[in-house]
Amino acid sequence: GMVRHYKFNVVEKRTDRLCSSKPIVTVNGRFPGPTIYAREDDTVFVKVVNHVSYNVTIHWHGVRQLRTCWADGPAYITQCPIQPGQVYTYNFTITGQRGTLLWHAHILWLRATVHGALVILPKRGVPYPFPKPHKEKVIVLAEWWKSDVEAVIGEAIKSGGVPNVSDAHTINSHPGPVADCPKGGYELAVRPGKTYMLRIINAALNEELFFKIARHQLTVVEVDAAYVKPLRTDTILVGPGQTTTALLTAYHTTGKYLMTVSPFMDAPVSVDNVTATATVRYAGTPAASPAVPIAPPSPNATWVAEGFVGSLRSLNTGAYPARVPLEIDHSLFFTVGIGVNPCATCTSGFRVVADFNNISFVMPKTALLSAHYYKMTGVFTDDFPAKPMIRFNYTGAQPVNLNTMTGTRLYRLPYNSTVQLVLQDTGMVAPENHPIHLHGFNFFAVGRGIGNFDPITDPRKFNLVDPVERNTIGVPSGGWAAIRFRADNPGVWFMHCHLEVHTTWGLKMAFVVDDGEGPDQSLLPPPSDLPKC
Ligand code: C2O
């Protein structure tokens, strides 16, 4: 592979949206930030220079980082933050992956504006497993707050309650025309008969999003940088941290068509109904002509969401076969829960908390990866439970005990051991899926269901032949998802809900994967410029 160098200057930039302006933290002054292009097997260097007053880190979401956990990026998990005025160069090689991913800040809520696309092209001379598109377009979906994002979450932490939702969603940085700010929006220019590859990225903090284009079908060909059997659909659901590459054929001759992005949060509380819009405009169609409208999915959004996820079960088994672990060494069952704890310092007297297996994760003061590598004691324990700490029946009455315990507990895995993890949502508060993201691995999504996971009957229905491969999976509200992976990547790997508010509340933990005995089975030594806490 080739070596590619990028430079990320983290700078503040006053930016106008929704007819008002505010300073935001950006990479190179851009929102979204620059796209990183690399081919499979390339080595990437990104020199990050912090010019702002916040601590910063950057995460290469979905990049496997084989033996290079030091370059993964989550603050206090794999590195101490890059402090104001400091520099850190991320260095990693892309191995066995091709498709669309994203990069984003992995500290505080900075990823609201510090994010961008990471496009991995196939090795030179290797074609896509579908007809070559006429053009490729990156479509980044995000959220916009009129107020300062760090202040929004800061307030919520003080009160113990729920932070404000964003004021708009965005498509390639723009909400599109809205009532009190009727101008602007992203436009995709197309020519009749041509096919466009849309690399759709959900970089939003807190919303799963539906993506649609009026009077056009989309063909999904890849998710989370893994090819899938082509799937034709008119609606795509993409959770925060997830990516979906779809082909759009411009099969009309003329006209302008609306593209919509709307949140999946339909019941029981409708929190946020802001739909972002953009347009697809055929060559020769006047810019001022009205766009053909389309209604975003709404009344039956859950069914639309389930239908889309349900239809996306299979990998392309030809050129990229699934290698699902069939023998399981570690069979884990994690509940995904939200509860409340008493809080003396909170203005409301309580604090909303979230947890895996009733343990709300406490961030350490130094990086877990360094603690693991240098065998420091007192930073974490490796006693994360394989099943929930508090037993209850998820289909019965809601549990009386919503309290969670706190701790910096990790689950230890020997090198190359195999893992089955069932994630069971306890469905107590939120109506939406939890997009659970595992760093450092692609896992196989072998099963998914509504209600209680049944340890006897459900595993019989697992797809162990050609399941979809992902790095982020939506655990359905009041339901479960089962994943399998092989622990073939030494290091400390974060796992968390990619709804940022849930991460803040403690819905996170980490796996520590020990070195193997073989020559290429150990974590590489830390880079010399690794930041210190
Ligand atoms: Cu995309 Cu730990 O995050």
Q: pLDDT band for position 307 (50/70/90)?
A: confident
How far, in Å, are 243, 291, 327, 489 from residue 512 at the CA level? 26, 52, 20, 10
For ligand 1, whether the C-beta of 470 sits within 6 Å is no
Band of pLDDT at residue 308, cut at 50, 70 and 90: confident
User: Could you tell me the pLDDT band of residue 282, with boundaries at 50, 70 and 90?
Assistant: very high
526 CA → ligand 1 middle, Å:
21
Q: What is the reported pLDDT for 57?
A: 98
Q: Which helix (H) or strand (E) holds 91?
A: strand 87-93
pTM for this model (two decimals): 0.96
pLDDT bucket at 315, cuts 50 / 70 / 90: confident
pLDDT of 46 > 90? The answer is yes
* Residue 454 phi, psi dihedral angles, 5° rounding: -105, 115
Give nearest CA residue, ligand 1 atom 3. Answer: 61
Residue 276, token pair as written in the block:
């972002």
Q: Is 115 in the pocket of ligand 1 (CB under 6 A)?
A: no
Which residue, among 137, 103, 140, has the nearest Cα to 118 in the 3D structure?
A: 103
Among residues of the chain, what percentage have pLDDT more than 90? 81
Query: pLDDT tens-digit profile of 158-216?
Result: 999 989 889 999 999 999 998 889 889 999 999 999 999 999 999 999 999 999 999 99
Structure confidence at residue 76 (pLDDT): 98
Round the average pLDDT of the chain to a whole number and report it: 93
Residue 495: pLDDT over 90: yes
For the segment 87-137, what is each residue's pLDDT rounded down to a tens digit? Answer: 999 999 999 999 999 999 999 999 999 999 999 999 999 999 999 999 999
Q: What is the pLDDT of residues 361-398, one digit of tens each?
A: 999 999 999 999 999 999 999 999 999 888 766 655 55
Ligand 1 and 437: CB distance under 6 A: yes
Does the pLDDT at position 270 exceed 60?
Answer: no
CA of 29 to the centre of ligand 1 (A): 22
Provide the pLDDT for residue 61.
98
For the Cβ of 502 lying below 6 angstroms from any atom of ligand 1, the answer is: no
pLDDT band at 399 (very low <50, low <70, confident <90, very high): low
Query: Ligand 1 mean position to 46 CA, how many Å?
Result: 18
Which residues pair with residue 406 across a beta bridge?
360
Structure confidence by residue, pLDDT tens digits, 465-475: 999 999 999 99
Ligand 1 contacts CB of residue 351 (under 6 A): no
The answer to whether 260 and 216 have CB atoms below 8 angstroms apart is no
| Alpha carbon 239 to its chain's center | 7
Give the pLDDT band (50/70/90) at residue 299: low
pLDDT in tens, 431-449: 678 999 999 999 999 999 9
256 lines ligand 1 (CB under 6 A): no
Domains and CATH numbers, the chain: 3-121 (2.60.40.420), 135-311 (2.60.40.420), 330-513 (2.60.40.420)
493 in contact with ligand 1, CB cutoff 6 A? no
DSSP characters for 206-231? S--EEEEETT--EEEEEETTEEEEEE
C-alpha to C-alpha distance for 272 and 486, rounded to whole angstroms: 38
The string of pLDDT tens digits covering residues 350-369 is 999 999 999 999 999 999 99
- Per the model's pLDDT, the better-predicted residue between 428 and 514 turns out to be 514
* pLDDT, tens only, 321-354: 889 999 999 999 999 988 888 999 999 899 999 9
106 in contact with ligand 1, CB cutoff 6 A: yes
Q: Residue 512: how many CA atoms within 13 Å on its side-chain side?
A: 20
pLDDT band for 271, please (50, 70, 90 cuts). Answer: very low
Over its C-alpha atoms, the chain yields an Rg (Å, rounded) of: 22
Residue with the two structure tokens 């702002």:
52
- What pLDDT does 164 receive? 87
Ligand 1 centroid vs 97 CA: distance in angstroms? 17
Predicted local confidence at residue 268, as pLDDT:
35
What Å distances lie between residue 292 and 237, 245, 277, 281, CA to CA?
21, 24, 12, 10
Give the atom of ligand 1 at the shortest distance from the alpha carbon of 496.
Answer: 2
ipTM value for the complex: 0.99
439 CB less than 6 Å from ligand 1? yes
Predicted confidence at residue 143, as pLDDT, reads 95
